[in-house]
Amino acid sequence: MATTNVLYAGFGGQGILFSGKFLAYQGLLAGKHVSWLPSYGPEMRGGTANCSVIISDEEVGSPIVSKPDVLIVMNLPSLDKYENDVVPGGKIFIDSTLIDKKVERTDVDVFYVPATGMAAERKIPTLANMIITGKMLKEIGASLDNIDAVLGKIVSARHQDLLEVNKDAIKLGYNLEE
Write the DSSP string, 27-77: HHHTT-EEEEEE--SGGGGTSEEEEEEEEESS-------SS-SEEEE-SHH
Q: Which is nearer to other proteins, 54 or 94 (CB)?
A: 54
Q: How many chain residues bind other proteins (CB under 8 A)?
A: 19
Q: 3-class DSSP state for residue 38? A: strand
Nearer to other proteins, 28 or 140 (CB): 28
The answer to the question of residue 82 lying near other proteins (CB under 8 A) is: no
Report the residue number, 37 or 176, with the smaller CB distance to other proteins. 37
Residue in 11, 30, 37, 117 binding other proteins, rule: CB under 8 A:
37
Please identify, using beta-carbon distances, which residue of 27 and 173 lies nearer to other proteins. Answer: 27
The verdict on 64 binding other proteins (CB under 8 A) reads: yes
In angstroms, the CA 122 to CA 119 distance is 5
Answer whether 142's CB lies under 8 Å from 103's CB: no
| Residues whose CB falls within 8 Å of the CB of residue 34, separated by 6 or more in sequence, listed in order | 24, 25, 27, 28, 53, 54, 55, 56, 60
Dist. CA 42–CA 120, nearest whole Å: 27
Instruction: Mention every residue, 6+ apart, whose C-beta is less than 8 A from residue 157.
Output: none
Q: Which is nearer to other proteins, 88 or 106 (CB)?
A: 88
Q: Does 13 bind other proteins (CB under 8 A)?
A: no
Letters for 107-146 (x = contact with other proteins by CB under 8 A, - = none) are ----------------------------------------
Residue selected from 13, 46, 47, 63 as contacting other proteins according to rule CB under 8 A: 63
* Chain contacts with other proteins (rule: CB under 8 A): 21, 24-25, 28, 33-38, 40-41, 60-64, 66, 153
